[in-house]
Structure 1
Amino acid sequence: MQKHLENFTKIAFISLATLPLLKVNFNSMLIILCALLTIYFLVKTKKKIFFPLKYLLLILPFLMYFCYEIISGSFNVSRILIQLPFLIFPLLFIFKPDFINYKIKELSFFVFQCSVVFQSIIYLFIFLKSNSLVTLFNISPENIPFFRQYVMSNYFFEIHPTYFSAFLLVSITLSFFNFKKFMIFNFLNIIISIFFLFLFSSRVIILLLFFTIISFILYILINEKGKIKYVFVFGSLLILTFFLIFGSEIIKKRLNETITEINKPVEGNYHNSTNVRMAIYKCDYLLIKNIPFFGFGNNIQNELNRCYKENNNSNFYKISTYNSHNYYFNLILYGGWFFLVLFLFYLCTLFKHLRYSALGIFIFIQFLSINITENYLSRHYGIVLFCYFTSLFIFFKKEKFNAATKYI
């Protein structure tokens, strides 16, 4: 019975990596299940409960939001629940059973990659059920890829395109570092993931892919001077990505929109993703200039909407809810400058724990970069992916930084 329960617990922990396939409520139930199993084994083994002080700062973001909500007197329960992964994942892996080991981490990465590919194929199947193959690369007059728009509207639960594109980017990065171990699988995963990355056409993620490939090639040259053949492989991939970026009609139109629309104001019904985003950043700047010491708290969206109304001759903000589209701005607007300083201190702490792993640093920087254009850590899929992956790297260490190149 005990052995069966241990195996079930291993499966539960590995299943956390199926995040790309799960609705928010199912993923939350899976996290709770892992927490309950961890508590059971703590009681069963009578293991001494000891919380290392060096890990205390890993739960700092949760404490920030929790204390702010209490002090402000509003205590927005939904906001606290969204921030729970900052607390749960460090605790989950600090007190995990001993049999949840490095092999579980490696298998979790593999399951995550398979989940991303499987979800992508499901999206493609749903699209082709009602549309022809020739419409796969169509783009709307608003420069929104038809594939992306269709699957996000017709799938039974929604993952924001940028968030799913981030899944693809992380999966590709895992394949870069594990390329030699499972060459056929990783090669296919890279090709399939890049294909879907361009179908979803998230500009920030595509640019991050481009810079990730360049950085990885430099990483190989610096750390693995004898691996010239891999430089050739990833150099070819870089060239292919370059031509896809500038040769794809979808990408060309979206990049051209950025160039031509960036200075055009939002007027009436004339708005697109570029000039709306510039209107958002303008209001971010205006609000930050006059930010109260403790920020706007839970009134942040009302303040943004008021600013959109006062500075634009359009009701675009009534059609859809537009947050600050920059997590660092969001921190300032929510809790003031001190809130941002605390979070940056948290990021420095994370870097200190992650610096042993080149792969961990690559993915960490990708997360930080996405936060520049999205409130990535304000939604379930973003915050869970971030907390889950950083915890995997922090609490499962096998090699030191320089030894990480053995996976290339």
Structure 2
Amino acid sequence: MSGRPVDPADAGPVRVILVEDDHGDAFLVEELLAGARVAFELTWVQNLADATSAIDAGVRCILLDLNLPDATGMDGLMRILELAPQAAVIVLTGLADEHRGVEAVAAGAEDYLVKGQVDGELLARAIRFAIERKRADSAALRLREAELLASENARMERALLPTPLLDDDKVHFAHAYRPGRRMALLGGDFFDVIERDGTVFALIGDVSGHGPDEAALGVCLRIAWRTLVLSGVPAAGMLPVLDMLVVRERHSPFAFATVCMVVITPDRRSADMYLAGHPSPILVSEGVEQLPMGPRGPALGFLPEGRWPAVQLDLPPSWALLLFTDGLFEARVGNGTDRLGEEGLVELIAAHRPDLPVTDGWPESLLDAVEERNGGALADDAALVVLSRREGESE
């Protein structure tokens, strides 16, 4: 039967530091622990300065006198808690100042003991219980931090990966997103899809780097783009605004963002494509092909006064457009150094060719196939947006 996982620090004697300037009291503690049934390794220091040099990560418990030559009362306790956050602290008080022990527990100590009223078994039990309480408190704190992080991630994900605004039920939307190496924090990949007066606008982008600053910039760009679309700004004027926004809002002068924007006409038979240092979409119809790159502009924030010309696309009656970030094609193939590449991604999509219109689960299955080729979780964030239409689909 399995029990609680063994902490490496549990192996061998329990390391305890006694911070006590009184020789008689220190001798008594040494004698009490020497007769305990649990093996303790006691280090005695006489002041806070010596305790500072004696404390390391292997110390499990600190017995602290509140009246030291170089620290008195709560000041010494606060310093010890700062120096040894992993250790349980038990304060030692005199009978006349037992109330200070209660104050110490409220301030962060695990327990207090009154000098002269402790035997060896009680002292050993107090140390063991304090260590277990500290372990439980630390586990609860880690759980709370994980819950807060998950909550922050959920809010960030809603901002980076929003619900599309589509009125045409003949245009189907599906997507998938996975952070690099399944990290808890989202990276800088973002996307959005909006229909305005029958025209469908789709955007996918990737901020260079990983972390909260990159994610925040991605949120800023996505919200700004949605505002531009809903405000009626012409498509040709959107990327210059986003470029200016990257320059003004980025945390580093070297940060940039790549973007692919597709604007699909109301008849769904043509589209304009705008590329800012980003790969072109993949078209699925009778076959599977990556759309010609055509003229494209630089990544946003990369060059001053960039230009982002439109590339006109003809769409077949039934189609699927796959917009993606570089995390997909930068996947490795097996254990070697070869990358999947954009051609390899096209071949993989052809091997897992979806029916039209593309269903919600297909993008996730494609990411599963990419990760299988990669031999595990992807190193970089990967986002995939699929817009599809099938001619003659019933209402």
- TM-score range for the pair, normalised by the shorter chain length: under 0.3
**With CA pairs under 8 Å and 6+ residues apart, which has the higher RCO, 1 or 2?**
1
**Higher Cα Rg: structure 1 or 2?**
2
Give me the TM-score of the superposition, normalised by structure 2.
0.20
Give me the TM-score of the superposition, normalised by structure 1.
0.20
Higher strand share: 2
